[in-house]
Structure 1
């Protein structure tokens, strides 16, 4: 007879993500952990984002450990709970004001307590700006963060590279958004950087250089163009 908590074949089923689990963190390489960014860690995260060519917006950094971010983690108990938690957040603010509280910043902390990596994801501003310019009603505009997120930056310090930190950060970011039932997670990287293989091996589909991301599956009448010299990578809900 199989033991309780085991699936056929003896493997342990993946544990659901919870707000507590994200805050406390998961085990990482070499005795470290992956966890939610906390207040006072914005300088370390920004330094990492600088190397990834991303900018950590000040309003997002101000939310490290803040109340707005709670909505995201309430949602980890179920999509209905997330929508309920997000509704007052979105109704009481413009979409630009709501973005910081719906962003996700995870950090990699080594066994000595030093931050050696970070992943930064947020609602898809290019998509929301496009919808706003085309006159989408507020309710439809605010529904976009329920369907799409952008991985704005993923970076590990030079001394910590090769230990698997980037893979762990990406894995946990994907796990959180999958549990939130998002339809699309995407990002971009410099053409010729070799990152296409990294993302492809981790479940993403790199688009061809300068290929546009078609948003027709989301019933949106526009797409996303990569920046100059950039290449998009995408992960649609399976």
Structure 2
């Protein structure tokens, strides 16, 4: 039986985009009016739409995600309370569809964090002072890359001349395992299909009364 798969996340080195804003909520990440659009078309055009566009709906060339230096960014660095607000899972869809695999911030909305992990995106919480240093370094070197090692639970910021700063982070072991394996809960269940079938066979043989009689309607 096929498993429900996400892209495994182990080690990622990618352009990191600095978003030095606190309290970026789910309505900013994906304004509600765009949730009527088909998910199959991708929600990436609407990510942070009202921050990325002017009042006439034209892209703001100065907004970080509109700048060529950050094209193809896979890591977003923001300030505290990222993803607060509603339980809007579409906010995570917009980030994932835009290519982000890791979000770094001092803290996250609880529901946003859960939705991110379930969709193959890693929220990394670092101390506010560390995030400030990351934001400063990224602003000074547009297009710079950051490395995230999920098995080792580290974030590495190259400093030039062979130097680097390494920061550790915490992640729930169960969620870490799913991310590394590229599985969601459905995929995990399907990966255990043989064990589940074996258990059902044994249970049916030894306790047949627990199995509904298909003849009963």
Q: What's the TM-score, normalizing by structure 1?
A: 0.27
* Structure number with higher relative contact order (C-alpha < 8 Å, ≥ 6 residues apart): 2
Q: What's the TM-score, normalizing by structure 2?
A: 0.29
Greater Cα radius of gyration, structure 1 or 2: 2
